[in-house]
Structure 1
Amino acid sequence: MQDGGVKISVNSLSYLSKLCKQGRLLEALRSAQDINRQGIPLSNAILQNLLKECRKRKDIIAGTHICSLIVSNGLELNRSICNELIQIYSLAGKVKEALQVFRSFAKKDCRIWTLIISLHAKNKQEKMAIQLYHEMRQTNVKPSVYTYAAVLNACANILDLRQGRVIHDQIVSSGVMPDIFVLNSLVYMYVKCGSIIDARHVFDKLPRRSLFCWNTMISGCVQQGFGQEALHLFEKMQEEESNPDRLTFLFLLKACSSLRALDEGRHIHSQVVKAGFHSDLLVGSTLVDMYSRCGSMSEASQVLLSLPHRDVVSWNAIIAGCARHGFAHEALQYFEKMRMEGLKPDRITFLVLLKAIGSIGSMYHGKHIHAKLVESGLPLDVSLGSTLVDMYAKCGSLEEAWLVFSKLPQRNVVSWTVIIAACAQLGHGEDALYLFWKMQQEGVQPDRVTYLCAMKACSSIAALDQGKLIHCQLVSCGIESDLTIGNTLIDMYAACGSIDDARKVFLKMPKHDVVSWNAMIDGCVQQGFCDEALYFFRRMQLQGVKPNRVTFVGVLKACGKITALDQGKLIHSQLVKYGLELDLFVANSLIDMYAKCGSIQEADEIFLKLSERDVVSWNTMIDGYAQLGHGQDALDLFQKMQEQGIQPDKSTYVSVLTACSRSGLIGEGLDLFHGMHGKFGITPLMEHYACMVDIFGRAGNLYKAHDFISRMPLKPNVDVWMSLLGACRLHGNVELGRASCKAVLKLDPANVAARVLMCNIYAATGRGVEEAQIKEKTKCA
């Protein structure tokens, strides 16, 4: 009987082995199950053989059935079967079952520990892998190089630098340190965890460096923003005659892109060609991106056109490059060429194009690309929808922007912020604030950018109460101390006329930058607190903050408003010290300051020193002459401006007509006014009509002025009627004075200045009763 059993066992083993080798695992399994049902015990050797074949052929189903046979036979697990079982469960992704097998086996060696640690690391259970590693050390089983590699990969995957350093120390104390495999794993772990210094320290100790290690180190430097270091590593790599591969070049080109290092990029390009990777599509696309980011669109185009095949990625690279450098029309042309090649644009293509179109504000192109987006069938996700809303806003169409926003299937804080910003930018501050509160009602919480947009909306419509509510929210959110938020709060309070609140915000801020000081200075100037603006300027310098061109423009404006010539001269000397005297933006303010302080000669000296002058420079100088009554000088300068090819704008005409008014140059004023549209295509605004009324009025042609008002194509505003009323006071015309005063009070019932002027007219013409009546009404008002 015993001999027969042995014979059956031997025959069974032979038969099962034969079935396994032929790949007939299910038949082998059925045969094993039949033998098991006959009460004949299955040996470890048979099951181990079956498991081995299952693992080789990755037949997980058969393997799990064999696992069940082992359990049902109550076989004692030996090392080989345990190993095979864990690997079968590993293939099936059954980490829990593998761990049960592992735990049930008493005599665990390094190989089985490493296997179970690797299994957990590969199945995204890195913390358990690290825990098992520490358990292994506690059982005094010495880890192998493969154990260290597995657990270091686990640390890398979850970016656990602390554990990685602990394991590194243990490796050093174990004496395994010189092993190249472990060193490579350490470099990889440190790079993934973002510690380039530690990675480099290990890297430099390597006796020889594999291509994988070079790529790991170079890619880590690029990802962490050490592009220059990545390029130095490449030089070292070449010195050691290690050949780069496709990945190496991709990382290096990204380094050149981040550094905007065009010359280095060209050198890498030559190496790419030498290595034969120039026809590779991904390398080619990365080259296009590198050249475009470095600003060489011609070379980017050459690379693109030289590629044997182009995909969406390569076209997106050139389109994005054009958009980035302000070549929106060229971006659109490349888009059409891409479509002609039969390629379908993806969401990245549309995102880039929409941003480019927004930068040029072209509604025509915007609608065209919107139509192509609809035609593409791409879903309008939050990102695309928000960019579309932003594009229409930048093209000046709030209606189209709102239409897209209202149809978005989902809205997040970005899409809400974009529509709020659109309303604020296009002069619909009230709508912006309505949407700001509505988004919160719908459960979407504002972020930092949303708050900035909402505060700008408050500034645009001087909504002080709303601004204070937003300020309260900022305090409750804990972001009031954010520097940009604080600066915008100062701007908002100043624009709303509350310098006290602006000052309180400023004093509460934990730190100030030049923008904070500028906001406070400009706010004071806007609200007429020019002495305080100069005080803040002095404090700023005492605290060691270097003023910039915006600061100087603000304080020069303050000096001009209060005619503080001495202060203005001191600031001028500082401008010379900082090398900003001839900065066009600053110089225009300097000219304005001197002109407003009555020092036209010094204004003229600055003007003549300028190597280039824009329309603002000319306007400022003309206005300076006008305000001081030098009408002919203003007209002469106006003529010179045109001779030098500078076309006058609406502000120029306000200044030159004011000059005619102050100097009594009626004929010249009329000629200028009538030539505005005919010569330069400038449609007169209300300010120009007010100037003409002032010209007639100052010259005593009051009825001509009144007739001019009655024939205006625009409905006259308060300023126009006040010009005539001022002229009536000058010439004592009661009849027209009454008519003008009545027109002003109809438009602005609370206008005290009109009543005072009328009172003066009555007083000058000896009409005491009417004077008294006006005074009484003025008191009541």
Structure 2
Amino acid sequence: MSPAFIFYGLTLYKRLKPDARATLKARRMLGTSVPYRRLSDSISSLPALKCLHAVVLKEGLAHRLPLATKLLSLAVSLSPAVDYARKLFDAAPCRDSFMWNTLLRAYADLGPCEEVPVLYRQMHRDGLSPDPFTFPFVVRSCAVVSALREGKQAHCNAIKHGFGSNAFLQSALVTMYAQNGVISDSALVFGEMAFRNIVSWTSMIAGYVQNSVFGKALGVFRWMLDSGTQPNEVTLVSVLPALRGSECLTSGMSIHGFVIKLGFDSHLSLANALIAVYGRCGGTSVARYLFDGMPARDSVSWSTMIAMYEQSSEGINAIKLFRRMLTEKVAPSSVTLVSVISACAASGDLETGKWVHGFARNRGLDADVRVGNALLDMYGKCGSVDAARDVFEKLAWKGGVVSWSAMIRAYAAHGQVEAALQLFARMRYEGVRPNSFTYTSVLAACSHSGLVEEGMNHFESMREYGLTPTLEHCACLVDLLGRAGSLVDAYEFVKRMPSEPDVGVWGALLGACRIHGDVNLAESIWEELCRLGCSSVTLYVLMANIYAEAGRWEDAARVRDMMRGMELRKDPACSSVNADRRSHRDRERPLTRDESVTHVADKTDMSRCTVVDDVS
């Protein structure tokens, strides 16, 4: 027993000044035949526990292991903080496995905490063997703090002590390996399980989802159903993020049916997850129907629906819903604001973006890095470069590479090439590692300014940072060479590419041929594209325009006939205007040129028209 801790206990005893009755009661409780299990009935608060502890120290009873164990258990259950429990643990003259497990569990329940692996090693140094209850606490904590090495050591020790097949440990191991990105080891542990409960099934499904192995997550879910295990709310919430794309809409509706059948449709977390699924799978209208029918909504519900609109390119609806959210007095989170600001960026709604910025500033949410980066991106896309720079200067040191890349992109997109390249140089000087998006903006800036040599140098420097050029980077380089008139060099570069060029690369090369009027090279490229079975409407339109600008109308018509034969149609463009802080779009569906001609002809009385043979 530490003298300092005894002094602390006696001082505490004097400060609390328990009355004679309380002291007598405590002494009776602590007698030689004390019923320790009744202590939890008598102690219901941390101050009362401290009073009892002071009496224990004064009466010289702290050496009794059962009493020390009970005090530790009470300290853990009565206080969310572990500080007092840790003092009791450290002061105990001897410790059994129950005391170690009690403290390990307390630290593990705290969330991210580095203390559990440390305690586990100390337990080994003290010569105490862990029991089946020890390992799940250790592994669970290693999962939270991403301590893969310590988790593997605990796994090996568990096998060594004969506890490797413990169901609780195996479920914890599945989670630990998955959260550390070793999903293959998670699957290995899961496959070796002799008995799988709902916790282990859910852990494996969640592990696959966390590692973006969505197909296998759905496979495990179907396997679970085939085994006769009924999913619970947590299982359904875990599997829903695996549904992505329009092809998964039917599966989402099936799981929605499960939710209703099992009586979970009133659970808020599941309703929010279903809204997200329908939004991701192209069922935005169904998501909105579900949202409107919710008996209660929290901030997550609103944020999810707003995010679904933003991701579905329905920025105007996202902004409208945000205004309604504020009208209903629901406090938005930083996640909500990121979606709304991104919607403003996509729709070019600068005025609403400024208003949201002011809203965020008034509530202190603009200090959030994610909100700041969204604002920077919004101002850049809406053409307010000065406002973007103001946001950037406040974020530069904490926003990381995302902020630097967004500011470089804003400069490059608005013709401030010198500023973009200077900022890129400053970024590298400050030790911020550029990423793939950074180089896309830098190469685009060089392309628009005709800086061929500098662009080539930047392209080559990507390897200094371990970056492999993507098709987008190659398209930028082709555009750079093409704009400078080096069409042959650009074509040779495309042919040397290790991967198959995509529409962006071929489009950049054909666009350069159009700029310089090189119809012969364009035809060579087009013949090769036709052999490859090109089905890009963009490239067909571009080639038809090249022929048209060269006066080769029959060839242009032939390309357009090929488009019609393949049923390729270019999506018509649309526009919007901002007025009174609201964005307004055409209420009618935009018409293509061919549809417009037909539309006019249908409304014309042809009987009143006359044929003119000669206008000379």
The TM-score, its normalising length taken from structure 2, stands at: 0.78
**Could you list the runs of 5+ residues in structure 2 that have no partner in the other structure?**
1-11, 31-35, 568-616
Instruction: Work out the CA distance in 1 between the residues paired with 2:489 and 2:160.
Output: 62
Instruction: Work out the CA distance in 1 between the residues paired with 2:80 and 2:279.
Output: 40
- Alpha-carbon spacing, 1:249–1:475, altered in 2? closer, same or farther (3 Å): closer
Task: Kindly provide the CA deviation profile for residues 740-770 of structure 1, in whole angstroms up to 9, marking residues without a partner as x.
Answer: 5567678885421121122222222333233
User: In structure 1, the residue corresponding to 2:170 is in which secondary structure?
Assistant: helix
Q: Is the 8 A contact 1:249 1:268 kept in 2?
A: no
Q: Is the 8 A contact 2:111 2:144 kept in 1?
A: no
- Work out which of the residue numbers 510, 513, 516 in structure 1 matches 2:295: 510
Which amino acid in structure 1 is aligned with residue 202 of structure 2?
A: T
Residue of structure 2 equivalent to 1:541 = 326
**Could you list the runs of 5+ residues in structure 1 that have no partner in the other structure?**
1-230
Alignment of 1:301-380 (within 5 A): 304-320=89-105, 323=108, 324=110, 326-328=112-114, 331-361=116-146, 363-378=148-163, 380=165
After TM superposition, give the deviation of residue 443 of structure 1 in Å.
1.0
- Alpha-carbon spacing, 1:253–1:626, altered in 2? closer, same or farther (3 Å): farther
Q: Is the 8 A contact 2:105 2:137 kept in 1?
A: yes
Q: Is the 8 A contact 2:342 2:378 kept in 1?
A: yes
- Alpha-carbon spacing, 1:734–1:309, altered in 2? closer, same or farther (3 Å): farther
After TM superposition, give the deviation of residue 633 of structure 1 in Å.
0.8
- Work out which of the residue numbers 626, 636, 639 in structure 1 matches 2:425: 639
Instruction: Work out the CA distance in 2 between the residues paired with 1:732 and 1:238.
Output: 101
Which amino acid in structure 1 is aligned with residue 456 of structure 2?
A: L
- Alpha-carbon spacing, 1:635–1:441, altered in 2? closer, same or farther (3 Å): same
- Alpha-carbon spacing, 1:646–1:610, altered in 2? closer, same or farther (3 Å): same
Q: Is the 8 A contact 1:658 1:691 kept in 2?
A: yes
Instruction: Work out the CA distance in 2 between the residues paired with 1:295 and 1:683.
Output: 48
Instruction: Work out the CA distance in 1 between the residues paired with 2:257 and 2:283.
Output: 16
After TM superposition, give the deviation of residue 466 of structure 1 in Å.
0.9
Instruction: Work out the CA distance in 1 between the residues paired with 2:513 and 2:551.
Output: 15
The structure with the largest helix share of the pair is 1
After TM superposition, give the deviation of residue 533 of structure 1 in Å.
0.8
- Work out which of the residue numbers 383, 390, 398 in structure 2 matches 1:605: 390
Matched, 1:584 2:365: no
Residue of structure 1 equivalent to 2:611 = none
- Alpha-carbon spacing, 1:363–1:546, altered in 2? closer, same or farther (3 Å): closer
User: In structure 2, the residue corresponding to 1:242 is in which secondary structure?
Assistant: helix
- Alpha-carbon spacing, 1:286–1:655, altered in 2? closer, same or farther (3 Å): farther
Instruction: Work out the CA distance in 2 between the residues paired with 1:737 and 1:252.
Output: 90
Residue of structure 2 equivalent to 1:620 = 406
After TM superposition, give the deviation of residue 304 of structure 1 in Å.
4.5
Instruction: Work out the CA distance in 2 between the residues paired with 1:402 and 1:490.
Output: 29
Q: Is the 8 A contact 2:373 2:399 kept in 1?
A: no
Instruction: Work out the CA distance in 2 between the residues paired with 1:350 and 1:744.
Output: 60
User: In structure 2, the residue corresponding to 1:509 is in which secondary structure?
Assistant: coil
Q: Is the 8 A contact 1:249 1:272 kept in 2?
A: no
After TM superposition, give the deviation of residue 255 of structure 1 in Å.
5.0
Alignment of 1:90-239 (within 5 A): none
Q: Greater relative contact order: 1 or 2 (C-alpha under 8 angstroms, separation 6 or more)?
A: 2
After TM superposition, give the deviation of residue 394 of structure 1 in Å.
1.7
Q: Is the 8 A contact 2:44 2:78 kept in 1?
A: no
Q: Is the 8 A contact 1:381 1:410 kept in 2?
A: no
Residue of structure 2 equivalent to 1:671 = 457
- Alpha-carbon spacing, 1:396–1:582, altered in 2? closer, same or farther (3 Å): closer
Which amino acid in structure 2 is aligned with residue 468 of structure 1?
A: M
Instruction: Work out the CA distance in 1 between the residues paired with 2:248 and 2:332.
Output: 30
Q: Is the 8 A contact 1:584 1:613 kept in 2?
A: yes
- Work out which of the residue numbers 200, 206, 209 in structure 2 matches 1:421: 206
Residue of structure 2 equivalent to 1:457 = 242
Matched, 1:659 2:440: no
User: In structure 1, the residue corresponding to 2:485 is in which secondary structure?
Assistant: coil
User: In structure 2, the residue corresponding to 1:463 is in which secondary structure?
Assistant: helix
Residue of structure 2 equivalent to 1:757 = 542
After TM superposition, give the deviation of residue 529 of structure 1 in Å.
0.6
After TM superposition, give the deviation of residue 315 of structure 1 in Å.
2.9
User: In structure 2, the residue corresponding to 1:667 is in which secondary structure?
Assistant: helix
Matched, 1:772 2:553: no
- Work out which of the residue numbers 274, 292, 295 in structure 2 matches 1:489: 274
- Shifted more, 605-614 versus 338-347: the winner is 605-614
After TM superposition, give the deviation of residue 672 of structure 1 in Å.
2.1
- Work out which of the residue numbers 626, 630, 635 in structure 1 matches 2:416: 630
Work out which of the two has the higher radius of gyration on C-alpha atoms and give 1 or 2: 1
After TM superposition, give the deviation of residue 385 of structure 1 in Å.
1.9
Task: Kindly provide the CA deviation profile for residues 205-230 of structure 1, in whole angstroms up to 9, marking residues without a partner as x.
Answer: xxxxxxxxxxxxxxxxxxxxxxxxxx
Which amino acid in structure 2 is aligned with residue 562 of structure 1?
A: S
- Alpha-carbon spacing, 1:479–1:771, altered in 2? closer, same or farther (3 Å): same
Which amino acid in structure 2 is aligned with residue 397 of structure 1?
A: V
Q: Is the 8 A contact 2:72 2:85 kept in 1?
A: no
Residue of structure 2 equivalent to 1:697 = 482
Task: Kindly provide the CA deviation profile for residues 272-318 of structure 1, in whole angstroms up to 9, marking residues without a partner as x.
Answer: 6445454444157549958996365xx87776454332222333345
Q: Is the 8 A contact 1:626 1:634 kept in 2?
A: yes
Task: Kindly provide the CA deviation profile for residues 565-615 of structure 1, in whole angstroms up to 9, marking residues without a partner as x.
Answer: 111122222222222233322122112111111011111222234584322
Residue of structure 2 equivalent to 1:721 = 506
Residue of structure 1 equivalent to 2:217 = 432
- Alpha-carbon spacing, 1:608–1:423, altered in 2? closer, same or farther (3 Å): closer
Alignment of 1:518-557 (within 5 A): 518-557=303-342
After TM superposition, give the deviation of residue 382 of structure 1 in Å.
3.0
Instruction: Work out the CA distance in 2 between the residues paired with 1:709 and 1:321.
Output: 60
Matched, 1:294 2:81: yes
Which amino acid in structure 2 is aligned with residue 355 of structure 1?
A: R
Residue of structure 2 equivalent to 1:569 = 354
Which amino acid in structure 2 is aligned with residue 621 of structure 1?
A: M
Which amino acid in structure 1 is aligned with residue 265 of structure 2?
A: E
Residue of structure 1 equivalent to 2:612 = none
Q: Is the 8 A contact 1:745 1:754 kept in 2?
A: no
Residue of structure 2 equivalent to 1:147 = none
CA root-mean-square deviation: 3.4
User: In structure 1, the residue corresponding to 2:432 is in which secondary structure?
Assistant: coil
Determine what percentage of the aligned residue pairs are the same residue: 35
Which amino acid in structure 2 is aligned with residue 459 of structure 1?
A: R
User: In structure 2, the residue corresponding to 1:459 is in which secondary structure?
Assistant: coil
Residue of structure 1 equivalent to 2:69 = 282
- Alpha-carbon spacing, 1:695–1:508, altered in 2? closer, same or farther (3 Å): same
Q: Is the 8 A contact 2:275 2:288 kept in 1?
A: yes
After TM superposition, give the deviation of residue 515 of structure 1 in Å.
0.9
Instruction: Work out the CA distance in 1 between the residues paired with 2:241 and 2:323.
Output: 28
- Alpha-carbon spacing, 1:576–1:313, altered in 2? closer, same or farther (3 Å): same
User: In structure 2, the residue corresponding to 1:629 is in which secondary structure?
Assistant: coil
Task: Kindly provide the CA deviation profile for residues 32-63 of structure 1, in whole angstroms up to 9, marking residues without a partner as x.
Answer: xxxxxxxxxxxxxxxxxxxxxxxxxxxxxxxx
Residue of structure 2 equivalent to 1:78 = none
- Alpha-carbon spacing, 1:747–1:602, altered in 2? closer, same or farther (3 Å): farther
Q: Is the 8 A contact 1:277 1:283 kept in 2?
A: no
- Alpha-carbon spacing, 1:758–1:541, altered in 2? closer, same or farther (3 Å): same
Residue of structure 2 equivalent to 1:154 = none
- Shifted more, 492-501 versus 697-706: the winner is 697-706
Which amino acid in structure 1 is aligned with residue 180 of structure 2?
A: C
The TM-score, its normalising length taken from structure 1, stands at: 0.63
Instruction: Work out the CA distance in 2 between the residues paired with 1:553 and 1:746.
Output: 45
Task: Kindly provide the CA deviation profile for residues 321-376 of structure 1, in whole angstroms up to 9, marking residues without a partner as x.
Answer: 66546344x53343233223332212332112222332344554443322221111
Instruction: Work out the CA distance in 2 between the residues paired with 1:431 and 1:633.
Output: 47
Which amino acid in structure 2 is aligned with residue 282 of structure 1?
A: T
After TM superposition, give the deviation of residue 241 of structure 1 in Å.
4.3
Instruction: Work out the CA distance in 1 between the residues paired with 2:458 and 2:359.
Output: 40
- Alpha-carbon spacing, 1:355–1:772, altered in 2? closer, same or farther (3 Å): same
